[in-house]
Structure 1
């Protein structure tokens, strides 16, 4: 029997909605049920959050400014066929629902949404996500031993910080590690050296510093992958690098390769 609650507590969920009151209501229902929960105010912000966090489950409104839900779903489905997608819509938007089925949604909810509707939708969509995953990926997703998971995350923190300090001369002030499904996210804050902090006082240099930090991580990719592999006891590959010099934050996303 599939432990839906256990899986849900280990998922990253993205919710995209332009109405503030609706966002507040859904946040209250979702936050304690998810491993990680992210909120976007429109499709454009939703895409940015998707690229940054790679959620396994997305809930989105359809009618939004800047980029509507249909456009966002189309863009996501071009690069991700496994994540679950739920649309939240009004009754009169039946044509939107029919159109969205063709671009790959898994479930739709009619507003206003209550907690039972949400849980039922999660149950259905999580089963679909599992159906699209490889057997070995499923076993990893079903893994819900939070104590051991925390131990692995803490182990990565202890190794990454001195590694960065040894390579750059500046250790991060804070590191957050989140093992989620087939991914490992490492977010380091306070990473800039004194030289870099001086450079970005001129805004024209921010792009340059971001570029150089990405080049650094790419050059150290093999060493960082080996470091993680020794802790996790499985193959790891660097998936994405995000740098934000203006916020003094770097984020590395790794893919777990069990085969």
Structure 2
């Protein structure tokens, strides 16, 4: 594994083929409106990092992108197809079938805070289960591809181990390989390092930086400001269910940037 988080390629402009689009997305839990009309664009090959204080709606937003949290209002599209709902001939919006939703999610990789690996399966079996169950690959192809992915995240020698035999950082890298196994067009990360001991964070961030260098489209919710500074093409700052500001890392973190964001960054840095 490389020794530091580093993005080699130059960030590209916020243009090109749109992979993810959210328009006026709202979400309410009981009487608490968590998302209040959020817009988000993610273009092919782009890394969008979402930051903001706890309770700002970051995690809820990323979970609406693959319908793990059904949105109440607005529209989410991935690869030009509305997520979770479809339009009828008379203009009504109705939920997609479970099969249709599963097909959509297969193209949207998701990495959670807590790994969510199957404890009774080996590392390789965790990675290869979904491609085989969905018919994407046969057993031999899935095993070969799974071993390639484990090598890609620096875990080739751990294929036969079980999750409890790995460190938290290693488990999260397995989770990343598992998400990649479905060959998704976009990867979503929900605080991928928040459950890790500080000394294990770097190894996960290195994998994410490598994916960015390879051109993977990603949306990352994180409190890791170094990741946002070094890897993002576009940084989105959320607070109280709104997108307060969005722009390049240079602008968002620059000396002339939004004072509210500067206070947030100072607070996060002092808390480390």
* Fold match (TM-score > 0.5): no
Compute the TM-score of the two structures, normalised by the length of structure 2.
0.29
Compute the TM-score of the two structures, normalised by the length of structure 1.
0.30
Q: Which has the higher contact order (CA 8 A, sep 6+)?
A: 2
